[in-house]
Amino acid sequence: MQDYIQKRVLDICAYILETRATVRKAAQVFQVSKSTVHKDMTERLPSLNKQLALEVKTILDENKAERHLRGGEATRKKYKEIS
């Protein structure tokens, strides 16, 4: 793995662990695609550090379980502003 990719993977990992950010938010902050963040966290990070990969996986699983609630809240807020 190239050095800049390895650095990006570890930087994104640290950001997610620190802020409990979603894949989408991490992608915005690091100016990469959601696919890149997902691949970095699920495929590349385990080869660098298995323990960090498990910690990040826990956060990403929580975010995935909650995403339907976030979407509903965003829709509710959108229509509340309109009326």
**What does the pLDDT profile of the chain (83 residues) look like in tens digits?**
899 999 999 999 999 999 999 999 999 999 999 999 999 999 999 999 999 999 999 999 999 988 787 778 878 888 888 86
Long-range contacts of 13-17 (CB under 8 A, 24+ apart): 13/40, 13/41, 13/45, 13/49, 13/52, 13/53, 13/56, 16/41, 16/56, 16/59, 16/60, 17/52, 17/55, 17/56, 17/59
Tokens for 77, please give them.
Answer: 């807020």
